[in-house]
Amino acid sequence: MKILSGISVSPGVAIGTAVVLDAEGQRVSARHVEASQVENEIARMRQAFAAAARAARESQRAVADKLGRQISDIFGAHAQLLEGQVLLQKSESLIRQNHWAAEYAVSQVLGDIVQSMARLGPENRFGSRSADLLDIERQVLQHLRGQRREQIRSSRGPLIILATDLSPSETANLDPSQVHGLVTEGGGKASHTAIIAGALGLPAVVGLGPFLEEVTDGSTIIVDGQAGQVIIDPDEETLQRYQSRRDDFRHLEQKWLQLRDVPAVTRDNHRVTLFGNIEFPHEARHCQERGAEGVGLYRTEFLYLGKTEDPTEEEHFEAYMQVIRELGPGRPVVIRTLDLGADKFHMASWKVEPERNPFLGVRSIRLCLRNLALFKTQLRAILRASGHGDVRIMFPMISTLAEIRQCKLVLNEVQEDLHDAGVPFNDRIPVGTMIEVPSAAILADQFAREVDFFSIGTNDLVQYTLAADRTNENLAQLYSPADPAVLRLIRMIVDAAHKHNIEVNICGEMSGDSLYTLLLLGMGLRQLSLTPQHIPEIKTVIRSVTLTEAKRVAEEALRLESARDVLTYLREQNRRLVPEMFG
Ligand code: PEP
Ligand code: MG
């Protein structure tokens, strides 16, 4: 039995069988299979070579017609290598001798050859062929990955997915009826992969660092999403202990569900509004089930997930209408315009230049303001939906006043177009901005004159304030919403909103972490938007404390000098004031 620690990102306990997934473009981890699985791995490897060979022959034929023999011969050479015995036999003997997974054996065989070729130098005839072998490796691995995903689809579960890293799209495609938990070597608390795991209700631990070599496919794995622990091959006693913890967690969740219709009100009678964060329209139902009073953040970029074409205006509109219908009348929906880029999938249809620093690059609103047609399509759909429910519009990643003014100008143009065309919409639609870049936080009192509401995006605010990548597990200590610099910025934003009498909401992962609820209330926040799963827990904290206590805690926390001190203090105060949860 091995126990590993990482970053807990989605609560609950999951127990299941290990399936290691490799992601495109990432190193293949060294891993083993059970002795009984060796023949199966060899068969998988042979099938993948055969499929890649067939694809190469098809490309050879197609290219011969279009571009002639000289080019099509390249694919012919690939096919010959894939059909020949050398690579197959080398891979087979590595699987047989070492009990390696097919993916690892293939990457080792081809990696060794590529390295020896590269040593010959580019002027050598063979030295210049290493790119072909890399291409062959990529194709075979692609087939092996396809088989893996097929295996997951056809399995009855429960499976635990283990990976170096998973993209938000890969995570979103996991089926929670088969996949019960998620563990990755990389990633951080506010990575979008973690956010999706939360949305799917999958217990997840990320940022473990290299560990896949220690796992055999098919082993039993326990994911403790609360403590951030992963247990490989648990002994019988541990397994039983965790089975009962998993059941306890389910009961607790059931108990929390009973809180659905009670208001989020402090003991001294101050009302707090809890909204849900969603990525997919169907999650509006989760908001309903957990007692959210509306949607405070709809991350619409997920409409682009897995698509090769940009969604049409109708597709945008239909998605928004689904949310409005699911939520029911009178419940607000804050639709955030596209926040694509950085770790959120780039569209195949866009020619986005690779960037050295994508988190500081043409992301989000910067991308929309450079692609006005795309931006206007979405704005039209949002405005049309505003004729059917309480729709509000929000712009992400705003860093200057000029940007927010430009967004409002574009919105005005679209409103005029709709008006001219006689399409109904709410011409007083509330317009808000995310405050998630330090420059916007610093100028919050000026931004407050431009918009109807603020929403504080702590995931990015923490990342940009501390210059610490939100997805980098090695910076998990530094990347902390409890950092005094972040707390001061939040305080400034809230004060500016109050001074100018506009609403202020907080929608980063911090708002779903019960450790911070007391502090956020004390800093003046009365609206939180969070993953619906966490609503009952946060409501429990709100209902257990008074605003007077919360204000005192916030004042003291804001005097402290480090994230560590703040966290220690908050734990202490929470244990004292909400013992039933933190005791
Ligand atoms: C944030 O940055 O806090 C936020 C809510 O937006 P996202 O996580 O989608 O970047
Ligand atoms: Mg953000």
Handedness of CA 69, 75, 77, 82 (dihedral sign): negative
Cα dihedral sign, 140-141-142-146 = positive
- Ligand index nearest the alpha carbon of residue 457: 1
Q: Tell me, what's the pLDDT at 15?
A: 96
The sign of the torsion formed by the CA atoms of 203, 209, 214, 218 equals positive
In short, whether 532's Cβ falls inside 6 Å of ligand 1 is: no
Q: Nearest Cα to 424, choosing from 376, 391, 388?
A: 388
407 labelled catalytic: no
| Per-residue pLDDT at 350 | 62
Q: Is the pLDDT of residue 318 over 90?
A: yes
For residue 339, which atom of ligand 1 is closest to its CA? 9
Residue 37 Cβ inside 6 Å of ligand 1? The answer reads no
**24 pLDDT higher than 70:** no
Residue 452 reports pLDDT greater than 60 = yes
What phi and psi values does residue 87 have, to the nearest 5 degrees?
-65, -40
Give the closest residue to 192 by CA, choosing from 316, 339, 337.
Answer: 339
pLDDT band at 31 (very low <50, low <70, confident <90, very high): confident
Q: Is the dihedral of CA 275, 577, 198, 194 positive or negative?
A: positive
Whether residue 229 contacts residue 9, with contact meaning beta carbons closer than 8 Å, is answered with no
pLDDT at 486 over 60: yes
Q: Distance, CA 49 to ligand 2 centroid (Å)? A: 42
367 within 8 A of 346, measured Cβ to Cβ: no
User: What's the mean per-residue pLDDT of the chain?
Assistant: 91
In this structure, the number of other CB atoms found within 10 A of the CB of residue 360 comes to 11
Measured in Å, residue 397 CA sits from the centre of ligand 2 at: 6
Instruction: Give the atom of ligand 1 at the shortest distance from the alpha carbon of 508.
Output: 3
Alpha-carbon distances of 288 from 79, 250, 303, 457, rounded to whole Å = 54, 19, 21, 23
Considering Cα of 233, then 239, then 242, then 246, what sign does the dihedral take? positive
Q: What does the pLDDT look like over 534-560, one tens digit per residue?
A: 999 999 999 999 999 999 999 999 999
Show the tokens assigned to 132: 């072909």
Domains present along the chain, CATH in parentheses: 2-22+150-246 (3.50.30.10), 35-145 (1.10.274.10), 257-582 (3.20.20.60)
- Name 126's Cβ contacts closer than 8 Å, sequence gap at least 6: 117, 120
CA-nearest of 473, 552, 567 to 268 is 552
Q: Residue 344: CA atoms inside 13 Å, Cβ hemisphere, count? A: 21
Both tokens assigned to 479: 């990347």
* Helix boundaries (H) for 13-68: 38-67
Token pair of 112, please? 């060794």
Confidence bin at 342 (pLDDT 50/70/90)? confident
Task: Tell whether the model's pLDDT for residue 348 goes beyond 60.
Answer: no
Residue 404 — φ and ψ, nearest 5°?
-65, -35
Please indicate whether residue 353 or residue 542 has the higher confidence score (pLDDT).
Answer: 542
Identify the CA nearest to 93 among candidates 80, 112, 106, 74: 106
Please state the pTM of the whole predicted model: 0.80
Q: Smallest Cα–Cα separation from 182: which of 33, 346, 7, 342?
A: 7
Per-residue confidence band for 437, with pLDDT thresholds at 50, 70 and 90: very high
Report the candidate in 43, 48, 46 with the shortest Cα–Cα distance to residue 33. Answer: 43
Protein residue with its CA nearest to atom 9 in ligand 1: 299
Tell me if residue 507 is catalytic: yes
Q: How far is the CA of 462 from the centre of ligand 2 (A)?
A: 10
What token pair was written down for 523?
């800093």
pLDDT for 64-116, tens place per residue? 877 777 777 888 888 888 999 999 999 999 999 999 999 999 999 988 887 87
Rounded to whole angstroms, the Cα distance separating 470 from 39 reads: 41
- Other Cβ atoms less than 10 A from the Cβ of 70: the count is 9
Each residue's pLDDT tens digit, 228-281: 999 999 999 999 999 999 998 888 878 877 889 999 999 999 999 999 999 999
The secondary structure of residue 341, as a DSSP letter, is B
The pLDDT score that the predictor gives to residue 504 is: 98
pLDDT in tens, 157-190: 799 999 988 887 778 888 888 899 999 998 888 8
Cα separation, 384 vs 378, whole angstroms: 10
CA distance linking residue 75 with residue 124, whole number of Å? 21
pLDDT at 123 over 80: no
Residue 221: strand pairing partners = 16, 232
pLDDT in tens, 271-313: 999 999 999 999 999 999 899 999 999 999 988 877 778 899 9
> Is the per-residue pLDDT at 52 higher than 70?
yes
Ligand 1 site-directed mutation target among 304, 367, 459, most atoms within 8 Å of CB = 459
Where b means 16+ CB within 10 Å and e means fewer, 106-122 reads bbbbbeebbeebbeeee
pLDDT digits (tens, 9 = 90+) for 378-433: 999 999 999 999 999 999 999 999 999 999 999 999 999 999 999 999 999 999 99
Residue among 32, 192, 316, 534 flagged as catalytic = 192
